[in-house]
Structure 1
């Protein structure tokens, strides 16, 4: 424990200095704004309210000017975050999670680059499409049940972006920076990347086949996969089959005997039974993401896992969970490691809740998407400082809260004592200079330059059939 405190006391000041160097314009105001987010009492309710924090020594005008017109070297900040100590699983493996969460802006017609974001309603099986800015996050997961993750990258999805292509670029860039930072070397176990059902995991496995990664994703329970093609019998003429029999996830009659079946006793879900089948693949067609593929479509084989538990929290009826991994020839130990790592993906939801409810990520009414990206990266830097200060913070719990053991403080409790930690840290920002506020718009005059309105939705549409695609290309 003493070594962890010493390491945190040494790494945190270095990261704060590096973060300040990443701010290339309005650096002092942006740095103090980040400190105000970390030190203010209670959740962040508004952006202007942060100017009242003692850590923010400038006025509210400087705060808005920094968010709107400041500059941040995002690439340098990415490298600084990736050089920090990262959590690992018990076998020393890095596990990354990718997910998309939305900054909803339904009442902002003057904000550009908004998309229709899928949001679940309060009632069961009820969903809505609300305009907003979707952001794709990549985070490193920790072993065991925790509310901590290490945010490594975040990218806003624009109207012309393909979600699969953006995710592939993110994973490739993050893995490259981890290798450059020394977190992965030749001979280390492959990095495991987990994702939910909204991702095309087979497409990502094909695009990222040259990286030292294993991709694990949940697939829908109504999917139909194909078994390996059967061996060719002697004396049979004709073209050999490319795919084997169908494997319908919702039809047990099509399931052959699994290669491996493991039973694990858990404290949260009861008995967990995992059955796995090797070398299952989807039958691809020249549609959607494969419409631009030249030549024959590949056969992307992997391991299919069916996870069944006794019960779920809240007395909900358990349904089987289907997972597909890009690795073939798995052992029972690998199958257990995969589904247990996938359950850790839900820790990223705690980070999203921390960003939105405590740090106030979606509270500001920011008009421009670039300013929204700048504010997002400020909170990523703030969350990284909270993670570094875990071993330095004291448990300043409320009288009605249960005491937390050392090293088990939640991000909100670490933030509660960050003001005391900041007092012992160097402050790169310089003192504000006396200034007089501008005159602003004269009273009684109207705004003669109204902001333009922007449509919501994708600006690039791709044909769904090869015939339409060839006609458009021709």
Structure 2
């Protein structure tokens, strides 16, 4: 209980404007009966002692300092692997805003369809998340950082800077010290794992990423039959002067690693599944080391459970906000709420429905922990002050029209990357 109360106090200290309203709004998210479907419904909970006007004012004009909140996130107890190492996962989740033509900084986000060749590109705000993973079957992750990708951002460069800052905060919080096992970072095929390994070569981290994949596997059980993992040591990908390597000076480096081929006997509905190819930035791995790498990669999909919890239960993408800065504020409030659920995990009782199976101790899902958070909240620190009585503002006169229409913004990249080396050289010459 003391760890949870300490985090709540630190979270409140990160709120610089409309602190009381934002703090109670976060408590309302945690104590809502069921999934969050609208912001105004949260003002009807007992934990939110203010009106809907104060809530909207806090969301639109509140201020949370992300740099300050990132420090207590890194200081909370983090899950670790069996050998004591920290395993991080990095992935992008999209806040889709297809009809928000007045919202700035939207990008075309890749969305997977239900069938083959059904993928779409929908305008929205992509967020890059970094989270610490647990071992075993679980839907829990420890979210450590989130960054919204802008139209002028290079995804590889932003991810490299984000991972470097997360590592530095873990060192400062004494989560990692010299002599500990290297931090393992897993990622999907959307990332240039070779480029990230080259940029982060000065850090004690190891990167494991998927090179090519057609199937998604969750875990290795008898349901999938026999699993076979083969590894080739000191394999380096063939690099070309494209994408993130266009700005590289000199000869392209040789980045050696371990190539891992993972194949299972069968998948549900598919008796002949294709293998998954992984690449690790570490060489000279033993058989035990190889097993740890591919098992850690499969645990990366636990982050998908966190994204689903954010969107379907905590209401991350529910608000129809216009300003991307407001979206950033709401994102950090959801991260703070999820962290409180994780810290309350060993304290919550199993308030299960009559048709649900009993859960083992310390094995409650985030949704079950949220059911009992209202009882735990009464025992924790509540730094938010009581609301002061006030009269509502006059608002817009009846029948008056808005004479300041919001500007329209087209989604997409504002900085186009060169596709070839010749085009890259030509653009550099034009810039002087």
- Fold match (TM-score > 0.5): yes
Residue of structure 2 equivalent to 1:427: 382
Residue equivalent to 2:307: 352
Query: What does 1:28-67 align with in structure 2 at a 5 Å threshold?
Result: 28-67=20-59
Select which of 394, 401, 404 maps to 1:446: 401
Change (3 A) 1:268 1:94: farther
Does residue 426 of structure 2 align to residue 471 of structure 1? yes
The Cα of 1:318 is off from its aligned counterpart by 2.3
Query: Alignment partner of 2:159: what SS?
Result: helix
CA displacement at 1:315 relative to structure 2: 5.5
In the TM superposition, what is the alpha-carbon distance from 1:155 to its structure 2 partner? 0.3
**Residue 155 of structure 2: aligned partner:** 163
The correspondence of residues 380-459 of structure 1 with structure 2, limited to 5 A, is 380-459=335-414
Match of 1:460 among 405, 412, 415: 415
Per the alignment, residue 94 of structure 1 pairs with 86
SS at 1:140 equivalent: strand
Secondary structure of residue in 2 paired with 1:171: helix
Taking the aligned partners of 1:286 and 1:178, their CA distance within structure 2 comes to: 34
Alignment of 1:323-362 (within 5 A): 323-362=278-317
| TM-score (normalizing by structure 1) | 0.88
- Per-residue Cα deviation, 1:3-35 (whole angstroms, up to 9, x for no partner): xxxxxx110001000000000000000000000
Q: Is the 8 A contact 2:18 2:62 kept in 1?
A: yes
- 1:195 alignment partner in structure 2: 187
Question: How far apart are 1:465 and its partner, in Å?
Answer: 2.1
1:408 Cα deviation after fit:
0.5
Alpha-carbon distance in structure 2 between the residues aligned to 1:135 and 1:122: 22
Equivalent residue in structure 2 for 1:378, among 328, 333, 337? 333
- Is 1:140 the counterpart of 2:132? The answer is yes
Query: Size of the alignment, in residue pairs?
Result: 425
Query: Contact 2:189–2:213 (CA<8 Å) still a contact in 1?
Result: no
Shift of 1:317: 4.6
Q: Secondary structure of the residue that 1:305 maps to in structure 2?
A: strand
Partners of 2:132 and 2:143 within 8 A in 1 = yes
Query: Which residue is 2:250 aligned to?
Result: 295
1:183 aligns with 2:175: yes
Query: Secondary structure at 2:212's aligned position in 1?
Result: coil
1:470 CA drift (Å): 2.0
Q: Go from structure 1 to structure 2 and tell me whether the alpha carbon gap of 1:221 and 1:28 turns closer, same or farther (over 3 Å shift).
A: closer
* Equivalent-residue separation in structure 2 for 1:383 and 1:133 (angstroms): 20
Q: TM-score, normalised by structure 2?
A: 0.96
Give the secondary structure class of the aligned counterpart of 2:160: helix
**1:368/1:392 CA distance change after superposition, 3 Å:** same
Which stretches of structure 1, 4 residues or more, deviate above 4 A after TM superposition? 313-317
Change (3 A) 1:265 1:104: closer
Structure 2 CA distance for aligned equivalents of residues 144 and 129 of structure 1: 34
SS at match of 1:219: strand
Aligned to 1:75: 67
Q: What per-residue deviation string (whole Å, max 9, x for no partner) do you get for residues 270-297 of structure 1?
A: 2110000111112212222111111111
Which residue does the alignment assign to 1:114?
Answer: 106
Distance 1:300 1:50 in 2: 51
After TM superposition, give the deviation of residue 125 of structure 1 in Å.
Answer: 3.4
Distance 2:416 2:54 in 1: 41
Q: Any idea what the Cα deviations from partners look like across 1:389-411, whole Å, max 9, x if unmatched?
A: 00110111111111111111000
Cα offset, 1:469, TM superposition: 1.9
Q: Which residue among 281, 299, 305 is the counterpart of 2:236?
A: 281
Unaligned residue ranges in structure 2 (runs of 5+): none
CA-CA distance at 1:81 after TM superposition: 0.6
TM-superposition CA deviations, 1:175-195 (whole Å, max 9, x none): 100011001111100000000
Give CA deviations for 1:156-180 in whole Å, capped at 9, x if unaligned.
Answer: 0000001111110111000100011
Q: Is the 8 A contact 2:224 2:266 kept in 1?
A: yes
Displacement of 1:471 in angstroms is 2.1
SS at 1:34's partner residue?
helix
Displacement of 1:124 in angstroms is 3.0
Corresponding position of 1:245: none
Aligned CA RMSD, in angstroms, stands at: 1.3
1:370 Cα deviation after fit: 0.3
For residue 275 of structure 1, give the secondary structure of its aligned residue in structure 2. Answer: strand
Q: In the aligned structure 2, how far is the partner of 1:29 from the partner of 1:314?
A: 50
Q: d(CA) in 2 for partners of 1:71 and 1:155?
A: 16
